[in-house]
Amino acid sequence: MWDWPITGDTAGYVRAKSLPNIGKWTELSSADISTFCGEINRLNPEYTTPTKPKTPWLTSLSIKKGMQKSIRKIWTIIYLDLSHSTS
């Protein structure tokens, strides 16, 4: 569990402890963290500007009749199973 207060006596410290509501907080300053982390480098990610497709993406909303029957059977089995388990 950790806490990073921005006001009060512990502002600027990272506070950590193993379990909630058990034990005392360990307060770590940025100097403390740098001693066990070494040099901290901030990432500088590279990215590109998103492009727009020249043609729209087309997707079919229809399902083959065989699939519709299979899906209907599965839902019927699930419904019957649930109705028997609650009664």
pLDDT, position 44: 82
Share of the chain above pLDDT 90, in %: 0
pLDDT digits (tens, 9 = 90+) for 55-76: 877 766 566 666 667 777 777 7
Residues 6+ apart with CB under 8 A from 18: 1
**pTM for the whole thing?**
0.38
Judge contact between 30 and 40, C-beta under 8 A: no
Task: Count the Cβ atoms, other than its own, within 10 Å of residue 16.
Answer: 13
